[in-house]
Structure 1
Amino acid sequence: MNGEKNSSNSRVLKLKYVKIGYHYLITYLLKLCLVPLMAVIIVQASRLSLNDIHQTWLHLEHNLVYVVVLSAFVLVGSTVYFMTRKRSVYLVDYACYLPPSKLKVEHDRFMKHCKLMGCFDETSLVFLDKILGRSGLGEETCAPEAMHYLPPKPSMEAARQETEQVMFGALDTLFANTNVKPNDVGILVVNCSLFNPTPSLSSMIINKYKMRGNIKSFNLGGMGCSASLIAVDLVKDMLQVHRNNYAIVVSTENITQNWYSRNKKAMLLPNCLFRVGGVAVLLSNKSVDQRRSKYKLIHVVRTHCGANNKAFNCVRQEQDDVGKTGVSLSKDLLTIAGNALKSNITTLGPLVLPISEQILFYVTLVANKLINAKIKPYIPDFKLAFEHFCIHPGGRAVIDELEKNL
């Protein structure tokens, strides 16, 4: 048995090295083909005498018009290329808001507070405790100040204060860390799904930091957890048009006015999952920022599932049977998130996978379609394209579903 096991391990190891060799061969095939060509050019060049070089120069002098025209074409072509080429977008830095320690809500304190509020029945309290334990939230999370009172004191003014603390706290840190002045920012995108006052959140930031009058500002609302990605995609497109510019994305959610104080289970989930938090991200298309940037944005892929009724209704702000407003999370949410992930990975695959993996995938696909070979579909090795996956932390159940689909 030991011998068979060792033999099997040896075969697996050999196949692994064969695949690695194949991957490197396909990746560097063009360069390998260029080596003989370069060798021929070098050999031919070494055979040229000074007389041959002189004759070539004289030939060019007698055909000065052609040389000038050719040079003009090269110059114009290069100018057009550099003017129309896709501009690089860099993530210079980001800053997360850290609430004061007085706003922390440990699990035990959270449950005690819910009991003292007197608005939840025993079944809801058991449900809240169960969801909180499975949510993946630690003991360091924070709730807005208005929710620390008994009874809570949600109001428009309290909601503004929460949002201002989060946005301005993150932006102050970002400006201090990057030495970028508010007047240097040409594009501002703010996203908050549930709190959209007038004046807008983007206007609140512009007023606070006295930003310039020609800033391009956008305020995204009602887009849920996808809003951050949408904001980055919008900024990427804007930075292709506006050269030598800084852009800021501010992403947050407001808890003060969205605490649900009744007993509908689908609407109780956000009470356990959402806490005070926000982030400010500085992006740039300036070449001078390349060296100090943390990341470079390569691709943004998004699949819109809004045409599907289940996807459309999986996160919905609504009123319960007694008129209390809250956010209802459907049981279909996890399935929708998993399917969206599959669609995104399918779209992203051809953009990021090495050509060696794409060839293997298409060979098995063509074999099955054309000659009915009944070969097991080849699953590309995405570890050759990605070093890390950064998963949206929308609760433990969401993370588990994404893990399964990955």
Structure 2
Amino acid sequence: MRAPISSYIEHTVLLGGKFDKNSRDFLVKFFPRSGVGSEASMPVSMHQIPLDGSMKNTVLEIETVLFTAVEDLLVKHNISPKSIDILVSNCSVSCPTPSITAMIINKFKFRSNIMSYSLAGMGCSAGLLSISLAKDILKVHKNSLALVVTMEAITPHVYIGRNKSMLLTNTLFRMGGAAILLSNRKQDKTTAKYELQHLVRTNIGFDDQSYRGIVHEEDEDGTVGINLSPKLLHVAGKGLRTNSTTLGPLVLPYSELIKYGWSIFCQKLCAPLWRKEVYIPDLKMAFDHFCIHAGGKRVIDAVAESLSLCEEDVEPSRMTLYRFGNTSSSSIWYELCYLEAKGKMKKGDKVWQIAFGSGFKCNSGVWKCLSDVDPNVKNAWSDRIHRYPVDIPDQVDH
């Protein structure tokens, strides 16, 4: 259900428990500045007073999101559920039993020999982790179809406490998910939209500050929530630099690699005379489009500054955050849908998906568009793409 900011603020004021006046005032102040608009959705249970974060409602949210996404995908591509060979799901904090993959297998009556994997605890970067797992399995099992479903269930994880670092998640996370179909079958080459060219995973959890960047824990009063460290932007920047160092040589044109190599050579052998800093390659030269995890307004701003991106480059991320909120691991797929609905994905274009997640992880996926994507094909943006982009004020009116 849609959660307008005005309704959300009113709902917040009525919550009891350990949710004191300072907590309410903080959220009322921060909500309009989060970059999330009034059309983002919340599960039904979060429109109730008191909140009902029961397992029943958690499973209802998972079924609502993923059953719809899977059914739309199968119908759109005329795929029989019996044709799916591999099924991978990810949902970080909510881990029901039976598993999410088992729920989908039961709903759509997949084959008994389907290879299924349910990932949990992997954070907002888990969408690309699931793609990575599916890719590795497809290397071993030829002539196969892999279905990847990605989401985060927020029903049981609303924080009703006094810790401001944990209250932030209430203003950002919203309901959403995605289903992605991968294939290594020869007959699918003519109909596939994208080819996965590179997938780079980095984990800087060896660093204590990075490891503590995003933590699901109890506060001083024993209330459970997700703690976003004040150092999170610094940690994300470190993760992006580490990831880019590995990705760069795989995607950059030779001209950029030569400039970088020459500056390193001069720095080491001509140190007394060479006063210039090491050349930083321009990663923008390798890509036509960017899908940055819509983790929050400040996250998008920080990545844009780090990569010297213009407003057009980050438009899919900003519009996704505004329209859908932070949908965790699925946000980069909403952004790709935005590019498609805008008619921007042309044959030969390369798109860079950047995902951040607890641990701390930064993952990159590079996709090459195999044919012009028809903007009229229905997707998550189809009913209102004509209204975007919109100007997003520093403070949204509520």
Question: Are 1:392 and 2:290 an aligned pair?
Answer: no
Instruction: Report the Cα offset of residue 361 of structure 1.
Output: 1.5
Instruction: Report the Cα offset of residue 381 of structure 1.
Output: 2.9
Question: Are 1:107 and 2:5 an aligned pair?
Answer: yes
Distance in 1 separating the partners of 2:83 and 2:121? 29
SS at match of 2:51: coil
Distance in 1 separating the partners of 2:161 and 2:25? 14
Matched residue, 1:405: 306
Q: Is the 8 A contact 1:317 1:327 kept in 2?
A: yes
Question: Are 1:131 and 2:30 an aligned pair?
Answer: yes
Distance in 2 separating the partners of 1:269 and 1:375? 41
Residue-pair matches, total: 304
SS at match of 1:327: strand
Matched residue, 1:23: none
Q: 1:376 to 1:328 in 2, by over 3 A?
A: closer
**What's the RMSD between the two structures over aligned residues?**
1.3
Q: Which runs of 5+ in 2 are unaligned?
A: 308-398
SS at match of 1:341: helix
Q: What is the CA deviation profile of residues 225-276 of structure 1, one whole-angstrom value per residue up to 9, with x for unaligned ones?
A: 1111111111111111111111111111111111111221111111111111
Matched residue, 1:269: 168
Instruction: Report the Cα offset of residue 307 of structure 1.
Output: 1.1
Distance in 1 separating the partners of 2:280 and 2:204? 24
SS at match of 1:302: strand
Q: More helix by proportion, 1 or 2?
A: 1
Question: Are 1:382 and 2:280 an aligned pair?
Answer: no
Aligned residue identity for 2:83: D
Distance in 2 separating the partners of 1:194 and 1:379? 37
Matched residue, 1:117: 15
Distance in 2 separating the partners of 1:130 and 1:291? 51
Question: Are 1:247 and 2:146 an aligned pair?
Answer: yes
Rg comparison, structure with higher value: 1
Instruction: Report the Cα offset of residue 134 of structure 1.
Output: 2.1
Aligned residue identity for 2:32: G
Q: What is the CA deviation profile of residues 51-84 of structure 1, one whole-angstrom value per residue up to 9, with x for unaligned ones?
A: xxxxxxxxxxxxxxxxxxxxxxxxxxxxxxxxxx
Q: Is the 8 A contact 1:367 1:375 kept in 2?
A: no
TM-score normalised by the chain length of structure 1: 0.73
Q: More strand by proportion, 1 or 2?
A: 2
Aligned residue identity for 1:246: L
Aligned residue identity for 2:163: K
Aligned residue identity for 1:192: C
* Worse-superposed segment, 164-173 or 291-300: 291-300
Question: RCO higher in 1 or 2 (8 Å CA, sep ≥ 6)?
Answer: 2
SS at match of 1:298: strand
Instruction: Report the Cα offset of residue 140 of structure 1.
Output: 0.6
Runs of 4+ in structure 1 off by over 6 angstroms are: none
TM-score normalised by the chain length of structure 2: 0.74
Instruction: Report the Cα offset of residue 188 of structure 1.
Output: 0.8
SS at match of 2:246: helix
Q: What is the CA deviation profile of residues 128-158 of structure 1, one whole-angstrom value per residue up to 9, with x for unaligned ones?
A: 1232222211111111111111112221111
